[in-house]
Chains A and B, each alone.
Chain A
Amino acid sequence: MTAGELCGRLPARPLCLPDPDVEIEGVYAGDLLSWVMGRAQAGQLWLTIMTNVNVPAVALLTGVSAVLICEGCAVDEEALAAAKQKGINLLVTDLPVYEAACSVFRLLS
């Protein structure tokens, strides 16, 4: 499933979707950025409630396919601008992290 397809089926809304055709090859959930950086694998969908400007940088460095902000957390303009500038797929869902993860698992299975 691609990041673009995930948006319509989760449901989630894209804040920034420069690469809708990238494949989602698994899921990683976490909010501590260094922890995520040490563990998340390229191609995974990253679920988090962190929304600050460092999130797009971590997404770029780890090579995740997209970031799914959960719980409907608000993304500030600076973070959104960084995501656009870095070409990061940034999606938002109102689902809590666990429920979002379960939903993505079902969609990927």
Chain B
Amino acid sequence: MSEPLVFTFDVDGENFTSAGEASVEVKKRLRQLGLPPDIIRRVSIAMYEGEINMVIHANGGRATVTVFDDHIEIVLEDRGPGIADIALAMREGYSTAPDNIRNLGFGAGMGLPNMKRYTDTMKIDSTVGVGTTVTMTVNI
């Protein structure tokens, strides 16, 4: 078993337009590792949605991607307001994003459902007033 590769990114909460840079970078690095395109697509889309969420709701945060032999783990940590009702947040179409975010084409209530759709496991740990950690894995 080889040493897992770890990529860490700070997601800038101030700059909505640069959201996605970490996902794009991860996509590039995974390509360099020669991983299958479908795996790369799933990881980078799930991570992009998570990045957007951190920018919209939590003023940024930290993303850590670890490449193991048999799976890729994505951990997104923020110190935002937390999610009071995770089941409701997971419902397609439910969103608390403000209008300016909707005007940019986000806030459709598809972020968390997309993250779940594109990953093999997804766990949300959230405490209101403290922050949220989303852990996702994609099997290779």
Contacts and interface: CB of A to CB of B under 8 A. Distances in A.
A63 B19 contact: no
Interface in B1-55: 17, 19-20, 23-24, 27, 37, 41, 44-45, 48-49, 52
Contacts, number: 68
B122 interface: no
B135 interface: no
A54 B111 contact: no
Range class of the B interface residue count: 20 to 34
B20 A54 contact: yes
A32 B108 contact: yes
Contacts of A61: 20, 23-24, 27, 41, 44-45, 48
The residue among A33, A50, A61, A78 with the most chain B CB atoms within 10 A of its own CB is: A61
Contacts of B113: 38
Contacts of A60: 24, 27
Interface in A53-103: 53-55, 57-58, 60-63, 78, 86
Nearest to A82: B17
The residue among B24, B105, B117, B118 with the most chain A CB atoms within 10 A of its own CB is: B105
Nearest to A85: B24
The residue among A37, A42, A78 with the most chain B CB atoms within 10 A of its own CB is: A37
A28 to B, nearest CB: 14
B114 A34 contact: yes
Nearest to B104: A52
A86 B19 CA distance: 14
Given A32-B108, A54-B17, 18 more contacts: A34-B52, A34-B106, A34-B108, A34-B114, A35-B110, A37-B110, A38-B45, A38-B110, A52-B17, A52-B105, A54-B19, A54-B20, A55-B105, A57-B48, A58-B48, A61-B24, A61-B41, A63-B41
Interface of A: 31-35, 37-38, 42, 50, 52-55, 57-58, 60-63, 78, 86
